[in-house]
Amino acid sequence: MQNSEFRRDMVSGDWVVIAPKRAARPEQFFSKTKRKQVAKSACPFEDPQKSGNDEPVLFYTDEKSWVIQIIPNKFPILAHKNMCATVVRHGVYDVAEGVGHHEIVITRDHRANFAHLSDVMASLVFKAFCERYKAMQNDACVKYVSVFHNWGPSAGASIAHPHYQMLSLPIIPPDVSRSLKGSADYHKKNKKCVHCAMLDSEIKAKKRIVYQNKEAVVFAPFVSREPFELRIFPKKHLPYFEDTDDVTMKHIVEALQKALLLLEVQLHDPDYNFFIHTAPLENKKKFGHYHWHIEIQPKTSIAAGFELGTGVEVNVVDPDDAAAMLRGDGAKHEKRKTK
């Protein structure tokens, strides 16, 4: 791809500019500098309770010690109360109290991020997500649960020890709302899941597929907002993350580990975020058209005036090239760039 191109996301309706001429070589995005290590003695998550954190709301152990514990965030975005957030008028504005759960999922190993967990531990992390997710959905005030991971300082991780976060919200987030609306509109018009249509197209085209197994697929979206953005979908149509069967979830976890490992190896361990997009908790019959998935966003740039002023993201790496590079198709990548 030589010239810039506008591409429209088939779910959100957002426009993105793919502008590969603005970048030199994709591999130059990421520094080869080794990640700074923090001593265990200075880590507040080595012994969370000794560091002043509350007792875990959920924990798993082996024969020696805890291996995963979930604790209330010591510095929460939202605070849990025995009340629901009510929207009230404040002059011309709508306001609601910041009510919700904010929890931290901590794994025992001080250095092993998700890509380097054992298969058993990685699956256990997702089991913990599901268990707490189902507990939060029993709260009548909760409309949506956000599950995400920040890896590295530029991705928002203030503590180096690998951990994950879960927030229950009294609202459906705007980004999710737009995704739900796009999904519903497409389904009404085409009698098919929009994400299933996307998957069918990507699997048939093959060139943006980074990895797939029996139950899950990893690909660089045709309308990637950021360089090396990846998405992971269950191949079967599943609206709800928390209702995913164990076999499918095991394959999704394996695909996520593979995707993160490829980012680490091919892009010199970049900072990144990953998060889960799933149908909301309310009225499960209403959102059967949706298809839950995981999105991975490596931190490659800072939004500048054009992006902030227009809401149009500029991606300087062709998703085809990004997928080829992550797969390790070095020869193909070099050939494409020298045409």
DSSP states of 222-275: TT-SSTT-EEEEESS--S-GGG--HHHHHHHHHHHHHHHHHHHHHTTS--EEEE
Q: Which two tokens stand for residue 41?
A: 């003695």
Closest by CA position to 184, among listed 281, 285, 103, 76: 285
Angle made by CA atoms 257, 113, 131, in degrees to the nearest 5: 75
The rounded distance, in Å, linking the Cα atoms of 316 and 338 is 16
Please answer whether residues 182 and 194 qualify as being in contact, where contact means their C-beta atoms are separated by less than 8 angstroms: yes
Q: Would you please indicate which residues are annotated as catalytic (active-site) residues?
A: 163
Distance CA 78, CA 145 (A): 12
CA 141 to chain CA mean position, Å: 24
Distance CA 269, CA 262 (A): 9
- In 3D space, the residue among 315, 320, 322 whose CA is nearest the CA of residue 259 turns out to be 322
CA quadruple 40, 46, 50, 53: dihedral sign: positive
